[in-house]
Amino acid sequence: MVQNIMLFGYSKKISVKCVLIIQVILLSLSKGANSHFGYSESNQRRWGKHHGHCFGKLQSPISIQHSKSVPLHMPAIDLIGYHNLLAHPLKLMNNGHTVSVTIPKFSKEDIEGGEFNPYIRGGKLPGVFEVEGVHFHWGDRNNRGAEHVINDIRYTMEMHIVHRNKKYEKLADALEQKDGAAVLGFFFTLDDSDHEGLAAINKYLPLIENSNESVYMNSTFTLSSLLSHIDLDKFYTYKGSLTTPPCSEAITWVLYPEPLPISSKQISRFRQLQDSIDGALVDNYRSLQPIGNRRVFVRSVNVHHTQLSKLENEVSYKKWDWFF
């Protein structure tokens, strides 16, 4: 069986089998194009052509001003299991867009033996959220790299710890829901001293210099080791999105404004990595997005409102909506 088909401007007789082969090739090319994206201004403007959410009204990152944030009495974020060693082996990967640490889940037998996967709760989080992974955004210069801007400061690097709402089995499913995921954001600023917790990741970076290279770390670490001794009582929170395609508007953001230290040696290792489009993997941060009618809340720390039971009786933090 043959069909007439217009191919590259010419009419040819071609078998149905060939038509199917061409369709498969074009589909695979389309998928490949969608899986790669760049961070230049022109590339970011094209994100929405393949991912409609990138043109949404709840996009991230945003610029946060303390003076424009709404102080709110709410619980601190409980970081459950952050002091426990992560399940291993931990996979460190340069995916061409960032450096990511995939955190494997403990097996059923481990959980029955008392182990559990780290999770978070509290704040205005709509549930309990289990950790999925960690990744970073950094710049070619020390005065840029972070995605969010806090009080007109763009820090050298930003770390995201991604969590999935436990009521959804997989992260991909969770990202289809408004309450699907939560991201804790932490900022790094240049310092004379190394960040000791970051050293566990930093030493493996030369092994994943090129895009799509990965390595299994022969040791594990705790999530709390990445957070040093910063103040975790104060944070900003708002409703937003993934900062990379598909830009799913499923994220409850929690941002801790006190920066972590990173030495020039440590940040230089991030800057030596390569991406799949532009060469050097640097400036991998998305441009700022409009806040629109969203509220940004800042946790109001008050000694008279430290107990969760008192907060629940007050219920103000539950009634306050994310939007004006």
Q: What is the pLDDT of residues 213-272, one digit of tens each?
A: 999 999 999 999 999 889 999 999 999 999 999 999 999 999 999 999 999 999 999 999
pLDDT at 33: 39
Residue 197 to residues 155, 184, 202, 221, 223, Cα–Cα distance (Å)? 18, 17, 9, 8, 9
Q: Dmax over Cα atoms in the chain, in whole Å?
A: 81
pLDDT at 216: 97
Residue 20 lies in a domain: no
Residue 72 lies in a domain: yes
Residue 219: how many CB atoms within 10 A of its CB? 11
Whether pLDDT at 13 is above 90? no
Q: Structurally, how many domains does the chain consist of? A: 1
Buried b / exposed e over 105-130, threshold 16 CB at 10 Å, is ebeeeeeeeeeebbbbbbbbbeebbb
pLDDT band at 107 (very low <50, low <70, confident <90, very high): confident
Three-class SS state of 105: coil
Residue 210 lies in a domain: yes
Residue 10 lies in a domain: no
List the alpha helices (DSSP H) in 88-188: 108-112, 171-174
CA 270 to chain centre: 17
Residue 158 to residues 48, 185, 244, 264, Cα–Cα distance (Å)? 24, 7, 14, 15
pLDDT band at 31 (very low <50, low <70, confident <90, very high): very low
Residue 33 lies in a domain: no
Residue 233 lies in a domain: yes
Q: What is the pLDDT of residues 190-202, one digit of tens each?
A: 999 999 999 999 9
Q: Could you say which DSSP state residue 41 is in? A: H
pLDDT band at 108 (very low <50, low <70, confident <90, very high): confident
pLDDT band at 114 (very low <50, low <70, confident <90, very high): confident
Query: Does 139 or 12 have the greater pLDDT score?
Result: 139
Q: What is the mean pLDDT of residues 270-278?
A: 90
Residue 156 lies in a domain: yes
Residue 37 lies in a domain: no
Q: Which domain holds residue 303?
A: 52-319
Give the span between the Cα atoms of 166 and 180, in whole angstroms: 9
Whether pLDDT at 323 is above 80? yes
For residue 12, the cross-strand partners are: 5
Contact 73, 305 (CB under 8 A): yes
| CATH code of the domain containing 101 | 3.10.200.10
